[in-house]
Structure 1
Amino acid sequence: MPNSASSSTTVTGRGVPERFRRLAAEWKEQSRYLSNSAQMAMLRPYQRIIGMGSPVVPLILEELRREPDQWFWALEAITEENPVPPEDMGKVRRMADAWIRWGEREGVLKHGG
């Protein structure tokens, strides 16, 4: 079972940021022409990011700071939270801001980047 051992070291060690960046780049490439967020979230790289669990939450939040995108399904799936007020649903920048504030409050993200 060398595959399971090597994948677990990737998820728990220093390989997390590198693996996240690789999967995020694959996801962005594959979702480039999709407008439906549900379809975007079902792409394999996105699902693999969700599977990485809580170690990727700060990385996703930093990504939202840099470039708001459809990371909300992943964040909600991993954290079981949704800090976005109902009036901001569907407004990507406002949704990103709500998650960034959540990350700062929860100590997952440093204030102000």
Structure 2
Amino acid sequence: MSPSSERFDALAAEWERHCEEHREASNPFVFVQHPSFESLVGLGRAAVPLIIERYRHGSVFWGAALRRITGVTTFGEGVVGDLEANRRGWLKWWDAHQAEFPG
């Protein structure tokens, strides 16, 4: 069952605002310690295609949600290191695995 697009969009917008407000934080885990992040992760595998679409167009922190949902750790934490390389890795992963996530 797919999460409603409206629910996902509302949670994503809230989390992206939180990330923007804390972009200068010295502790990168401040980004994932937020109720909207937990709610997004709670949407489960059905949210992965929606997350990937958001990731294509912006927020560098989506890797953390993808990691929590999929269990794939190949690309690191998603909030530390080379964030652009992390994003590219996830998008490449998606190209190889999208059939596993019926939309």
TM-score tier (shorter): 0.7 to 0.9
Query: Residue 4 of structure 1 corresponds to which residue in structure 2?
Result: none
Q: Which runs of 5+ in 2 are unaligned?
A: none
Larger CA Rg, structure 1 vs 2 = 1
- How far does residue 69 in structure 1 lie from its aligned partner after superposition? 1.7
Query: Residue 52 of structure 2 corresponds to which residue in structure 1?
Result: 61
Contact 2:16 2:59 in 1 (8 A): no
Bigger relative contact order, structure 1 or 2 (CA pairs below 8 A, ≥6 apart): 2
Q: Tell me, yes or no, if structure 1 residue 100 matches structure 2 residue 91.
A: yes
Give the % identical residues: 27
> Of the candidates 3, 10, 13, which is equivalent to residue 25 of structure 1?
13
What is the rounded CA distance, in whole Å, between the counterparts of 2:46 and 2:59 in structure 1? 20
What is the rounded CA distance, in whole Å, between the counterparts of 1:49 and 1:62 in structure 2? 14
Aligned residues: 94
Q: Which runs of 5+ in 1 are unaligned?
A: 1-11
User: So what's the TM-score if we normalise by structure 2?
Assistant: 0.79
User: So what's the TM-score if we normalise by structure 1?
Assistant: 0.73
What is the rounded CA distance, in whole Å, between the counterparts of 2:12 and 2:96 in structure 1? 25
Correspondences of 1:14-93 after superposition (within 5 Å)? 15-34=3-22, 35=25, 36-84=27-75, 90-93=81-84
